[in-house]
Chain A
Amino acid sequence: AQTVTQSQPEMSVQEAETVTLSCTYDTSESNYYLFWYKQPPSRQMILVIRQEAYKQQNATENRFSVNFQKAAKSFSLKISDSQLGDTAMYFCAFMRPMEYGNKLVFGAGTILRVKS
């Protein structure tokens, strides 16, 4: 079974600084997808960034970027120029291809607090 591990229960960062959230996963598959989701106190799940395993290039979305290390099964999220609105729970998620039901498996989450 696939597992996703987020080893940092809580993180804090000063506004405008950079923070990296860690995620590792375990799978024997070669084709899969990885996601980072943000859940602010409103509890709405918001997609931050996605990565396809067969693409070597790291995904980037504005201030958010990932460091995808397929051999190491690592998928960390870097947030640059942190803003107060980035305060939220962040979940790393793994998805197997369609033939396995397109199911998402989530990590335990990391609470990120951005301080002014």
Chain B
Amino acid sequence: SAVISQKPSRDICQRGTSLTIQCQVDSQVTMMFWYRQQPGQSLTLIATANQGSEATYESGFVIDKFPISRPNLTFSTLTVSNMSPEDSSIYLCSVGDSDYGYTFGSGTRLTVV
């Protein structure tokens, strides 16, 4: 299965600023997924990122707030824009398929103050 390097592992940010999270995969993958995990809760899909096309966002998530970059088949970034304390969460990227299951990055713990 793929190995994902996710950065940063954690950050504390001022409200109103933006943070970009990076995920690097050790193999080429078609689809990458970005999730948010609010404190003590389950994972919620933010968007699906395909190389060469715009990301597809789930209900409740918009591109202006969570712009995604997918410049090639091994890399993607998620930006959390104009942050507020409500954005404090763990953000995870994921790749995979039904045959092998899904691999997740180690997560980014974001705290907005």
User: Which listed residue, A104, A107, A109, touches B33 by the CB 8 Å rule?
Assistant: A104
**How many residue pairs, one in A and one in B, have C-beta atoms under 8 Å apart?**
54
Q: B90 at the A/B interface (Cβ < 8 Å)?
A: yes
Query: Does the CB pair A97–B98 fall under 8 Å?
Result: yes
Query: Does the CB pair A102–B31 fall under 8 Å?
Result: yes
Q: B5 at the A/B interface (Cβ < 8 Å)?
A: no
Give the shortest distance, in Å, between A1 (CB) and chain B (any CB). 10
Query: Does the CB pair A44–B98 fall under 8 Å?
Result: no
Interface of B is mostly: strand
Count class of interface residues, chain B: 20 to 34
Query: Does the CB pair B98–A106 fall under 8 Å?
Result: no
Question: In chain A, residues 1-52, which have Cβ atoms closer than 8 Å to a Cβ of chain B?
Answer: 33, 35, 42-45, 47, 50, 52
Give the shortest distance, in Å, between B60 (CB) and chain A (any CB). 13
Known contacts A33-B98, A101-B56; is A106 also within 8 Å of B107 by CB? no
B interface with A by C-beta (< 8 Å): 1, 31, 33, 37, 41-45, 48, 56, 90, 92, 94, 97-98, 101-104, 106-107, 109
